[in-house]
Chain A
Amino acid sequence: MLDAHRGIAPDSVLTELTILGEALRGRTLQHINATRSGGGVAELLARLVPWTESLGIRTTWDVITGNEEFFGVTKTMHNALQGADIEIPHSDFAGYLKCLQENAQRVKLDADVVLVHDPQPAYLIDWFAKDRRRMAWRCHIDLSQPNEQVWRFLRQAVSKYALAVFHVPQFAQRLPIPQILIAPSIDPLSEKNRELGEAEISAVTDRFGIDRRRPLLVQISRFDRFKDPMGVIAAHRLVRETFDCQLVLAGGAATDDPEGAKVLAEVQEAAAGDPDIFVLSLPPNSDRDINALQRAATVILQKSTREGFGLTVTEGMWKGKPVIGGAVGGIPSQIIHGTTGFLVHSVEGAAFRLRFLLTHPRAAERMGEQGREHVRRHFLVTRHVRDYLLLMLTVLQGCPDQPIRLPLGSKTP
C-alpha cells in the first residue's frame, strides 16, 4: 500500500510509516464501533484496517449489535452530545447498558491495543476492567457543547480508558486521562476519491438527469438535521434569484441512524416540483456516484450546524473544488477561510459566498488547487495511519510523559 501512495502522499509520512510499521510489526490492533456501513466512522475503518494489516499489524474490527430500541437511544445520546436539548429517561440508560452487557459477553478483547469508537460502545469498558490500560476511546462527534446530563453519564465510562482521542481541541473535555487530537482522513485511491475520466463523470450525471452545462452545487451527507439540508435548499433558492444553477443533495443511510428516513422525507417534500434540485437517496456502495457528483460540482457545500469532522469537506477539496462549510465543529480546522473555501454561519452567508464563487471562476479554481494541497499535507489516510501507529506506541508504553525514542530497527517491548 505504501508504494501505491508514492507521489501522492508526502514522502516524509511514507518514511515514518515504514519505520514505525517496522517497530510495531507483530503487534495487534482491534477496533470496535456500532456499524459496518453508512456514515463516516465505518468508512474510515474500512480504509484504515487494511492499512495497518499491510504493515504487519494484525487488525480486527468488531461491530456491536443492538435492537431498534438500543439504536434509538444511542441516536438520541448522539444528538444530545452534539448539543440538542433532550432529557433521556433513566430507563433508557438502563436498556443501553443491558444491551452492551450482552455485547460484552460476545466480543473478545484480544489485541495489544483496542480502539473503541464513539458513544454507542463506550460503556463496554465496564466489563473489561483488567484491559483498561490498553483501551482508548475515539470520539468522532462534535462534543463542543454537550448536553450536560448525557455527557455526565458518558464521562464515567470515558474516564476509565487509558486515553481519549478527539478531532479538534474544542471537543476535548475535563477528563482525568490524556486527551489526544487526531484528525480523520480520506484515501485518495478509494473508489470515492480516485481520479475519474470525463466519460465516467458524465455517465453518472446523465443517469440522474443533471445538466453539465449549468453550474452545479453539491452537498453529500446523510439526511440528518445537523447537516442542515433545508438550509442548503434555502441558500440555493436565494442564489437562483440571480444565477441559473442546480443543486444536488445526496446521501445514504446508516444502520445506526433511525431518523434518516424522516429527514429524507422532509427534504423531498421541500424540493418537490423543483426540477433543479436533485434529492438522491443513494444505496450502499455508491462511492463512484459520489465521486462523480463531487467532480461534476462547481462548488461543494457542507452547511452543517454541528459536525465532528466533515469528510465530504476533505473529499471536495481533494477534488480541487472550493468548499463552503458551516463554521462549526471540526470544519474550521479543515477549511482555510478565504484560501481553500469559506466558513459560513447562516443561509445568507452561504448564498453570498456561492454568488461570489459563481461569479469568479478563476478565484474558485485557485481555491480548489490550494485545497487539494492542504488535504495532501494534512488529511490523507497516510497521515492518519501514522498517527494511529504513534497512538499504539503511546498506549503500549503506558502513556509516558517523556518522549519515546526509537533507534532504527528497534521493536516495541
Chain B
Amino acid sequence: MATAHPKAENRPVFEFWKVAFLVEVTPLRALSLPQLLTGVTLAPESSIFFHLHQRFFRDPARLPEFPNDFADWVDSILGDAVAAERLANLNLFRSIDLAVVRREISVILAEHFQQNGDGRHAPAGQEFIFCQPRLVTFGSGRRARTPAEFAGILREIDSDSIGYHLFTPKAVPGRVANDFAVWFRQLGYEELARQLDAFDPYLNSLEDNRAYLLEMIEAGTKEREG
C-alpha cells in the first residue's frame, strides 16, 4: 500500500531522457556455435548488452520472434532451433548483470555443442559480427512532478525513452529496479513500485510496454489521486 507521500514542494521530479546510438563494429566474428562462444567470451560488455536489446529499439512496435540477436542468428543462419530457443529463454528481467548473462550464454552454447556437435557453419557474408553501441543520451525536456503528469508524458514520449528507462538502469551492477519503479517508490507508491519492479519488459515490444505501464500506473494511482 502507498505510504506517506512527500509534500508537493518536496516531490522528486522525473526527467525523461532519450537515447540514440551509432553502431560500432568490433573485430569479433563467428561462423559457428563454438566461434560464437569464443566471441561471447571476448566481447566487451557493451556488445553483449547491445545484442540483447537492440531489436527492441529497432522495431518498437513489434516483438520479434527471437528477442535477442544471438538467438535470431542461431535460428535463421545456423538453422538450430533448439539452441535458438535456449538463447531466447535467457531470463534478463530481474537484473542485467552482464557477467552473469555472459556466463549463462556461454554455458548454453558449450552444453549444446557438446551434446550435438559443432553444427552448421554460416555461409560467407552471414557470419555473426559483434557490434557495440556508441550511446548519446540527452534530456527530452519532459519532466513530471505528479503521477498524472507522468502518465501524460508516458503516453506520448518517444519509445526509445521508455526503453532507456526500463533497460539501462538494470545494467548497473546491484541495481534491480527500473527508473519508473524508483520514482514511484520515492513518491510513496510502494505497491505500484513493487508492481513496476516485477514487470518484465522483455516479453513485449516497447509500444506494448508503454500500454501496460500506463494501465498499471493509472490503476495504482487512481485511488489516491482521485
Contacts and interface: CB of A to CB of B under 8 A. Distances in A.
Nearest to B168: A403
By size class, the interface of chain B is 20 to 34
B135 A169 contact: no
B138 A390 contact: no
Interface string A401-413: 0011111110000
B158 to A, nearest CB: 4
Interface in A161-178: 166, 169-170, 172, 174, 178
Interface in A302-335: none
Nearest to B128: A169
B25 A406 contact: no
Contact of A23 (B18, B25, B135, B138): B138
B221 to A, nearest CB: 26
Contact of A181 (B131, B139, B158): B131
Contact of B136 (A178, A377, A403): A403
Interface in A68-123: none
Instruction: Classify the interface of chain B: helix, strand, loop or mixed.
Output: strand
Contacts of A407: 138-139
Contact of B18 (A15, A166, A393, A409): A15
B140 interface: yes
Contacts of B158: 11-12, 15
Contacts of B18: 12, 15-16, 19
Interface residues of A, number: 33
A180 interface: yes
B134 interface: yes
Nearest to A15: B158
B131 A390 contact: no
Contact of A169 (B20, B59, B129, B138): B129
Shortest beta-carbon contacts, A-B, top 8: A408-B139, A12-B158, A403-B135, A169-B129, A406-B138, A172-B25, A181-B23, A179-B25
Interface of A: 11-12, 15-16, 19-20, 23, 144, 166, 169-170, 172, 174, 178-182, 377-378, 386-387, 390-391, 393-394, 403-409
